[in-house]
Every structure is written in C-alpha cells, then in structure tokens.
C-alpha cells in the first residue's frame, strides 16, 4: 500500500516540475542540450529554423499520412490516384514552409536559397517515390496516432506520436507500431540501437494504453533518400520485439525518473556549443541572457 507521505511527496514533485509530460523528442533534447530544451519545452519558444533534411522528412511523413490513412487505401494505398495525390500533398507542405523556418546554412543569397529549396523538392520527390515503389502493406488501425500514457512508477505522463498502428503479423490480436525515417545513410546497430529502443518504449506505453491491446513490435522503416550506386534496395527495416528488451524497459524507467528529478530542482541551464543542431542557437541565448529569471 502506498503511504500518505509517498503520495504527498509525489504531489509536491509534480507542482515543482516545469513540464507536464515527457516525450522522446523532449527527453533527447534535454540530454543533448538542456538550454535548448528549456527554451522549447518550458518557455515554448519555437523559433529555431529546421534543417532542410528534416523538412524533407516531414514532407514525406505528410505524404505517407495521406497514403495510408486518407487518399490511399488502409491496406497499402492501392486505390487509383492514391500515390500521386499523396505525393502532391507532401510537396504542397514543403512549398508552404516559409524561408525563415529553414536553416539555409551557407546559402545566404536569394538565388542560393531558391536553389536550395529546389534541391529539397528533388530530394523529397526521389525519396517518396523510392518508398512508394515498394510500400509495405499493413492492416492499418491508426495513422499519426497521438497518445498520452500514465505509467506506474513514473512521476509524469509520457506522450508519443506513432506513424502507423497496425495489426501484428507475428502475434494474432496484438499490435505493431511502424515508424518511418527518411535518411541519408542507413542506421547502424540494427534493432538494438539505443535511440530506437528508447523511442520504441515511449510508443509502446502510449499505444497499449490507447488501444487496450498488447503491443508486440516496433518496426523502423528506413528509406534512403539518395539512390544507391550499386542498385541495392533503398529500404531497410529494423525490428524491435518488445519481448526481448526487458532490461531496456528498466533503464527507460530509471532514465525518466532521473531526468524528472533533475528538472525538479532549481538550476542554471547551460548551453552545449558542440550540439550540431542547436549549439550555436543555445549559446546565443546564454550569451544574451534571454531566458534569465
């Protein structure tokens, strides 16, 4: 039985926390660059431009969202016009991204930025066509499933977005989760890669609580954006079977609890200049004192 002192301590911890839930992206941001995390997830300032590669990936996700859940059929997008319409909607998303939302890097002139955007469109069209040429077929139950889960032993809820929730082909009555990634190079380490496993556990708890069914696998479907010179497949799967990662579940709980304890105390958030994505931005924030109390 949980003591009253334990309940009071948990209540005090919740009131002291600057966030309402953890997600995979927020946890990774906190571990990588606490100041950038504080800006985005506590102050809710979203002004950091995205790199072109991530925007190409987002556009491809938009296309697959419509392919599997809208225009295309749930069984794999076989309806007439499904592929073409989905591709166009992804392209429309990419073209609607404003210039100030893009990190153009060394492309400073108007002409150079225009060329960069054209290059992004070519990358997107090539990548999504690679995927759709061999699009996996699933019995889809949910597309872009957003869910929040309250997990025993964790002081904060966890939140995740699952690209696809599908019927498991391995275990009747269970579910699989499919996550799409559009990459420049295939990931190494196969399904045991730590980053994949941590993400998989976030999705496991949220999907299981939302659907009330057992969740068996987390399937990472990678699609390489650049054509392989040797003509090999542009697609690769990494499968995490939840029945084989019990130790990782324990590590996940410990990491979430430790991170929650860390953000509950008063602290000075320092930048990480070596962060390849947000190091410069976080250092500017620190230099200018923009988030000081």
Tens of pLDDT along 209-241?
999 999 999 999 999 998 888 888 999 999 999
DSSP, collapsed to helix, strand or coil, labels residue 250 as helix
What is the three-class DSSP state of 187? Answer: coil
Q: Which pLDDT belongs to residue 274?
A: 58
Number of Cα atoms under 13 Å in the Cβ half of residue 283: 9
Cα dihedral 94, 99, 103, 105 sign = positive
| DSSP string over 18-43 | S-S-EEHHHHHHHHH-HHHHIIIIIS
Residue with tokens 């697959």: 64
CB atoms within 10 A of CB 129: 14
- Going through 150-213 in order, the beta strands assigned E by DSSP cover 158-167, 175-183
Residue with tokens 């699989």: 176
Its CATH architecture, for the domain 20-45+139-286, is Alpha-Beta Complex (3.90)
Domain spans, the chain: 20-45+139-286, 52-133
Residue 275 is predicted with a pLDDT of 53
Asked if residue 158 has pLDDT above 90, the reply is yes
Confidence of residue 36 (pLDDT cuts 50, 70, 90): confident
Asked which of 41-45, 99-103, 212-216, 282-286 is least confident by mean pLDDT, the reply is: 282-286
In the prediction, which pLDDT does 3 show? 52
């Amino acid at each position: 039985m949980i003591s009253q002192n334990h309940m009071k301590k948990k209540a005090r911890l919740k009131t002291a926390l600057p966030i309402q839930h953890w997600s995979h992206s927020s946890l990774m941001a906190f571990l990588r660059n606490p100041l950038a995390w504080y800006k985005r997830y506590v102050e809710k300032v979203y002004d950091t431009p995205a790199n072109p590669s991530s925007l190409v990936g987002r556009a491809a996700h938009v296309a697959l969202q419509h392919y599997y859940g809208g225009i295309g059929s749930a069984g794999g997008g076989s309806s007439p016009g499904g592929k073409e319409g989905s591709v166009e909607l992804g392209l429309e998303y990419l073209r609607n991204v404003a210039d100030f939302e893009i990190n153009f890097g060394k492309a400073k002139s108007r002409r150079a930025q225009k060329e960069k955007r054209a290059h992004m469109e070519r990358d997107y069209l090539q990548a999504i066509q690679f995927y759709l040429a061999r699009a996996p077929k699933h019995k889809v139950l949910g597309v872009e499933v957003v869910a929040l889960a309250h997990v025993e032993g964790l002081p904060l809820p966890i939140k995740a977005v699952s690209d696809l929730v599908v019927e498991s082909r391995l275990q009747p009555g269970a579910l699989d989760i499919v996550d799409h990634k559009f990459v420049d190079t295939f990931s190494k380490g196969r399904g045991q890669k730590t980053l994949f496993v941590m993400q998989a556990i976030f999705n496991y708890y949220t999907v299981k609580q939302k659907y009330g069914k057992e969740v068996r696998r987390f399937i990472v479907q990678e699609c390489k954006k650049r054509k392989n010179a040797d003509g090999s497949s542009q697609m690769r799967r990494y499968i995490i079977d939840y029945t084989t990662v019990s130790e990782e579940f324990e590590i996940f709980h410990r990491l979430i609890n430790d991170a929650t304890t860390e953000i509950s105390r008063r602290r000075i958030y320092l930048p990480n200049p070596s962060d390849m994505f947000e190091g410069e931005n976080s250092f500017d924030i620190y230099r200018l004192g923009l988030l000081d109390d």
